[in-house]
Amino acid sequence: MKSICSLLIACFFSTGFHAVVIGQNLTLKQTNESGVYKKGERIKVTLFSKKPCSDSIDIQILKNFEFHSFHKKVKCTADSLVIFEEESCKPSSMIFEASSKNESASIGLIVDPEKFEPVTKHPADFESFWEKEKSTLRAVAIKTQIKAVPGTEAGFQCFDVEINCTGPQPARGYFARPASAKEKTLPIVVYFHAAGVNASWCRSEPDNAIRFARMGNGALSFDLNAHGMKNGQPDEYYNQLNEGELKNYSNYRLDNQNDIYFRGMYLRIIRTLDFLTSQPEWDGKRILVIGESQGGGQALAAAGLDHRVTAVVATVPAMCDWGGFIIGRKDSWPYPYSSMCTKDQMLNTLPYFDVAHLLKGSKATLVTEIGLIDQSCLSTAVYAAINQAAGPKITFNVPYRAHHLTQEAYRELWLKSVSKKKDDFIQDYLK
């Protein structure tokens, strides 16, 4: 690899690049706007400044999410500055950030993403482990507590549902459907939530269930909270869980197959799918699962654990290829190998719950949004997971997206080129 320092020297004006962000002084542009490169393809990253910067600009380059990164301060007195130029030579990822005193700009890329594989080995007894878990779960008859939600939108029914489970908590959420649905006519949609306990985005809501029940020609829709929490409780209930039994839940018993938190989470997913597929209105064909971050990881896990799942829409999914830490880079959320448990103990546990292993052999259609500057749910980790699946893949690589869309100047572009296309897929799939 060339010395990066030697590449931070030329200052020139180039008409070959066009900044795509309006109203921002600093922008970064790369030769391949998709952010996806093939082996041997030339990569050039250029910093643009609409007006000369009186202050120095800090350049940071992070390669393969390794713990160390390159920093250099530069002056940009002209319109543009090449900050990196190199030929891609092997599967890798890079994140570039330019920051001045008042603003910053970031962009990311990935090389040969289809070549990424899980760091940890697929356990020899992986399939038998999960078959046993599912058999034990299904040996217990499904029992439900169902309450109608008052004031539901005309033409729909919505229910507060609790389903018994072999995990430490039942599955709980809101279930909605068109009131006049006929037998064997409707697809299933399950919506999963991002990480957390007491925030608004962590709780199931009737509106979410109704929203998906309304899509396409109607659907059997379930808004499932991750933790088996009761629905519609006062804030104090969720705050107590957040400070009590669910505090730091994602790192609970990472060294124990029976007690690890994710075992219960995944069993609740399977139980919910069993409940929904028992509904007479299900068409017997389509099951769509949707989620972002932790919810995206759950959606991918659902496709791996239950091959009846036919389509997934996962946005910046978590729980993928946790083993990055072992080879000197960050691991993906919730960063389990950074915990206090011993590595050997975790190696005997975590691969059974890693989405990169769960997805192996899934034939579901995967629609995945990947943030190429996301340092919570790493692009390399997500690819290591989705590469294990055997079904069709529609992938949105977003060079300017961190885990959240923090660069507001790109929001309109993202809404048109990514968000709308995902929504269109959902609408079309449910017709």
pLDDT digits 0-9 by tens, 213-263: 999 999 999 999 999 999 999 999 999 999 999 999 999 999 999 999 999
The 3-state secondary structure of the chain reads CCCHHHHCCCECCCCCCCCCCCCCCEEEEECCCCCEECCCCEEEEEEEECCCCCCCEEEEEEECCECCCEEEEECCCCCEEEEEEEECCCCEEEEEEEECCCCEEEEEEEECHHHCCCCCCCCCCHHHHHHHHHHHHHCCCCCEEEEECCCCCCCEEEEEEEECCCCCCCEEEEEEEECCCCCCCEEEEEEECCCCCCCHHHCCCHHHHHHHHCCCCCCEEEEECCCCCCCCCCHHHHHHHHHCCCCCHHHCCCCCCCCCHHHHHHHHHHHHHHHHHCCCCEEEEEEEEEEECHHHHHHHHHHHHCCCCCEEEEECCCCCCHHHHHHCECCCCCCHHHCCCCHHHHHCCHHHCCHHHHCCCCCCEEEEEEECCCCCCCHHHHHHHHCCCCCCEEEEEECCCCCCCCCHHHHHHHHHHHHHHHHHHHHHHCC
Position 337 scores a pLDDT of 84
Q: pLDDT of 358-388, one tens digit each?
A: 999 999 999 999 999 999 999 999 999 999 9
Distance in angstroms (rounded) separating the CA atoms of residues 343 and 325: 10
Do 227 and 208 touch, CB atoms closer than 8 A? no
Position 67 scores a pLDDT of 63
Position 78 scores a pLDDT of 65
Position 56 scores a pLDDT of 83
Do 39 and 112 touch, CB atoms closer than 8 A? yes
Position 55 scores a pLDDT of 74
- Residues of the chain falling short of pLDDT 50: 1-23
Question: Which residues 6+ apart lie within 8 Å of 135 measured at CB?
Answer: none
Name all domains of the chain by residue range, CATH numbers in brackets.
4-112 (2.60.40.1930), 126-429 (3.40.50.1820)
Residue type, 163: I
Rg of the Cα trace of the chain? Answer: 23
